[in-house]
């Protein structure tokens, strides 16, 4: 399990809890199964771009805010992303779509 998926999941969980939402309620709001949300929050699954957007809408945040981590350096983030991009061509496509969706 990649460190990035764990950090993303933890961030989603932290925001969900700050909004006083249960996993069940948030899963209902974004139309996914509760176990799927649990797997996202524990870093076992990565959310699709569509699910990430639904999460952002339901939690009233911008999608990029899920990737703002205070506990790791920019260098560590870059290295983790480089490793992931080198081994997962689908991730390149997904990140590009995400980038284009938030591009100013």
Would you say the pTM of this structure is higher than 0.85? no
What gap in Å lies between CA 79 and CA 57, rounded to an integer?
Answer: 29
CATH number given to 3-102: 1.10.260.40
Residue with tokens 């990140």: 95
- Read off the DSSP letter of residue 19: T
**pLDDT grade, residue 104 (50/70/90)?**
low
Q: Lowest mean pLDDT: which of 1-5, 12-16, 31-35, 74-78?
A: 74-78
Residue 72 has a pLDDT of 62
What gap in Å lies between CA 15 and CA 65, rounded to an integer?
Answer: 10
Task: Enumerate the domain spans of the chain.
Answer: 3-102
- How big is the chain, counted in residues? 104
Q: Which residues of 32-49 are buried (b: 16+ CB within 10 A; e: fewer)?
A: beeebbbbbbebebbbee
CA distances from 62 to 6, 75, 79, 104 (A): 19, 23, 24, 13
Q: In the predicted model, what is the mean pLDDT of residues 4-23?
A: 93
pLDDT tens, position by position, 41-93: 999 999 999 999 999 999 999 998 898 877 666 777 787 788 888 888 888 88
Q: Cα(first)–Cα(last) distance of the chain, in Å?
A: 32
Residue with tokens 């209902």: 28
């Amino acid at each position: 399990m990649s460190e990035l998926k764990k950090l993303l999941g933890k961030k989603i969980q932290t925001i969900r809890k700050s909004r006083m939402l249960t996993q069940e309620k948030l899963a209902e709001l974004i139309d996914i199964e509760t176990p799927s949300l649990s797997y996202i929050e524990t870093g076992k699954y990565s959310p699709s771009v569509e699910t990430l957007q639904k999460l952002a809408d339901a939690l009233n945040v911008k999608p990029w805010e899920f990737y703002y981590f205070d506990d790791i350096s920019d260098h560590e983030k870059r290295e983790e992303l480089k490793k992931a991009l080198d081994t997962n061509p689908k991730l390149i496509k997904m990140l590009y779509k995400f980038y284009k969706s938030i591009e100013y």
